[in-house]
A = this chain, B = another copy of it.
Amino acid sequence: MSSGKILVAQGGGPTAVINQSMVGVALEARRFPGVTRVYGALHGVRGIVDEEFIDLTQETSHNLELVAATPSSSLGSTRDKPDIAYCRRIFEVLRAHEIEHFFYIGGNDSADTVRIVSEQAREAGYPLRSIHIPKTIDNDLVGNDHTPGFPSAARFVAQAFAGANLDNAALPGVYVGVVMGRHAGFLTAASSLGKKFPDDGPHLIYVPERTFVLERFLDDVKAMYERHGRCVIAVSEGIHDASGEPVATLLAKEIERDDHGNVQLSGTGALADLLCDEIRSKLGIKRVRGDTFGYLQRSFIGCVSDVDQREAREVGEKAVQFAFWGDADGSVAIRRTGFYSVDYELLPLDFVAGKTRTMEDEFISESGTDVTDAFRLYLRPLLGSGMPDAFRLRGARVPKVLHRED
C-alpha cells in the first residue's frame, strides 16, 4: 500500500500547454482511492531539494481548469540537472514527506533527471514510482509521434510566417525569421504550414538537420528574390556549418552556457542580424529585415492548438494510470493511431532520456530548403481547429492608358 502522497513537478522550458499535463495529474490522481495528497514542487527538482511544495489537493477543480488553460509552468521550472549528490537530497525529502509517486513533466533533459532519480531510488531501496511526462516545443523526444507543446508552438510559427509573408508581399524585400530549435528543425519547418498560395513564403527553410553553407544560402536567396521579387526565409537557431559549429556562435562575442552545457541561442537577435548583414552586403538588396521569434513562440498567450491542449491533458492522466495500474517506471509517449487520433504508451526511461530526435529524412525536401508533403500531412492535424486563413484579391487588371503595352 502506497503512502497516498504524490508529487508533480515541471522542468525545462515552459510551453503553452504544460499546465494541462500538471492538472491532468492532479485531477486524475484524486480519482484513485488511495491518494490522499497531490503536492506540486515549485521550480522543478530545485523545489524538491528545497522542500518548496504546494498542496494541489487544496486547489479547487475550477481554478485548476483555469490554470490548465494558462501557458507557461505554473509551478515554476528549473534548468538544474541533478547529479548523484543532488538525487540523494531528493530522496531525503521524498522520504521525509512519504512521497512514493513522482511525476516530472519535461523534455529529454527532464527525462534524464527522472531516469537518474529512478535509479537512485532503486539503489537506495526506496519505493518510488517515477514517471516522465513528455513536453517540449522542439518535438525532439524519441519514441513519440510528437510531443505536447510542439503543436501550439508550431501553430504560432505557422501563423507568424503567414503574417510575415503578407507583410513582405505588401512591402517587398527579404525577411528572415529565426525560430527555436537547437538540434531539431521541426518548429522551423512548421513555418511551411503558413503557406497557402504557391508563391507564398517561406520560400526557403533552413533546419539544423542539414549543413548550412553561407555561399549556398546566398545563392538560394538570390534565386528566390529574382523569381518572386521578394524572399521570406525561415531559419532554425541551431543551423551549423560542416564542422558542427553553430552559425550563431560565429559572431557571438560571449558564449553563455547553461548547466546542461548547451550554448545559449535564444534571447539574442544576433543570428538574424548576421544573416541580414550578409544578404545586404553580398547581394546588394536594400530592404532586408530579420526577426528572432524568441520567447514569443513558446509563451504567447492566445495562440494554442486545441489538439495540443487535449493531448497534454491526456499524457498527465495516463501518467497517473500507468503509475498506479502498471508495474514500472517510464516515460509516457504519444503514438499516432489514425488521421487523426492518438493513443499513449509507457516507454522505458533509458529509451527516451537524454536522446534527441531530429527531423526524419522523409520530412525534408531533396533541396534541403523545404519540407515534403509528408511533413505537411504529419503536422496539419496537430495545429488544431480554427486556424486563421489568408485571402487575396483576384486582381482583374485595368488596362493602362498612358503606358500602353502594345
Binding site for B on A (CB under 8 A): 10, 13-14, 39-40, 43, 50-51, 53-56, 58-59, 63, 66-67, 69-79, 92-93, 96-97, 159-160, 162-164, 166-167, 169-171, 175, 194, 256, 266-270, 272-273, 276, 286, 288-296, 298-303, 387-398, 400-403
User: What would 4 more interface pairs be, CB under 8 Å, given A163-B295, A256-B286, A267-B291?
Assistant: A51-B403, A72-B166, A268-B289, A296-B296
* Cβ–Cβ contact A291 & B301, under 8 A: no
A306 smallest CB distance to B (angstroms): 13
Question: A256 vs B281: C-alpha distance in the bound complex, in angstroms?
Answer: 12
* Cβ–Cβ contact B169 & A72, under 8 A: yes
* Cβ–Cβ contact B14 & A167, under 8 A: yes
A72 smallest CB distance to B (angstroms): 3
Question: A51 vs B398: C-alpha distance in the bound complex, in angstroms?
Answer: 9
* Cβ–Cβ contact B299 & A164, under 8 A: yes
The contact of A63 among B51, B53, B267, B394, by CB within 8 Å, is B394
Question: A398 vs B89: C-alpha distance in the bound complex, in angstroms?
Answer: 18
Question: A167 vs B153: C-alpha distance in the bound complex, in angstroms?
Answer: 14
Number of copies: 2
Question: A224 vs B280: C-alpha distance in the bound complex, in angstroms?
Answer: 39
Which residues of the other chain, B, contact A272 by a CB distance below 8 angstroms? 268-269
The contact of A268 among B55, B162, B273, B295, by CB within 8 Å, is B273
**Which residue of B is nearest A66, CB measured?**
B391
A401 smallest CB distance to B (angstroms): 4
Question: A272 vs B267: C-alpha distance in the bound complex, in angstroms?
Answer: 9
Question: A54 vs B393: C-alpha distance in the bound complex, in angstroms?
Answer: 9
* Cβ–Cβ contact B294 & A51, under 8 A: no
Question: A290 vs B289: C-alpha distance in the bound complex, in angstroms?
Answer: 17
Which residues of the other chain, B, contact A51 by a CB distance below 8 angstroms? 400-403
The contact of A390 among B59, B70, B270, B296, by CB within 8 Å, is B70
What are some 27 contacts across the A-B interface (CB < 8 A)?
A14-B170, A40-B393, A56-B393, A58-B394, A59-B394, A63-B391, A67-B391, A70-B390, A71-B167, A72-B166, A74-B170, A74-B392, A76-B170, A76-B171, A78-B171, A93-B402, A96-B402, A160-B296, A160-B299, A160-B300, A266-B289, A267-B291, A268-B289, A270-B273, A289-B295, A291-B294, A302-B303
**Which residue of B is nearest A292, CB measured?**
B269
**Which residue of B is nearest A54, CB measured?**
B395
Question: A78 vs B287: C-alpha distance in the bound complex, in angstroms?
Answer: 12
Known: A267-B276, A268-B273, A300-B163. A74 touches B292 (CB 8 A): no
Which residues of the other chain, B, contact A403 by a CB distance below 8 angstroms? 50-51
Question: A251 vs B268: C-alpha distance in the bound complex, in angstroms?
Answer: 15
Question: A166 vs B10: C-alpha distance in the bound complex, in angstroms?
Answer: 14
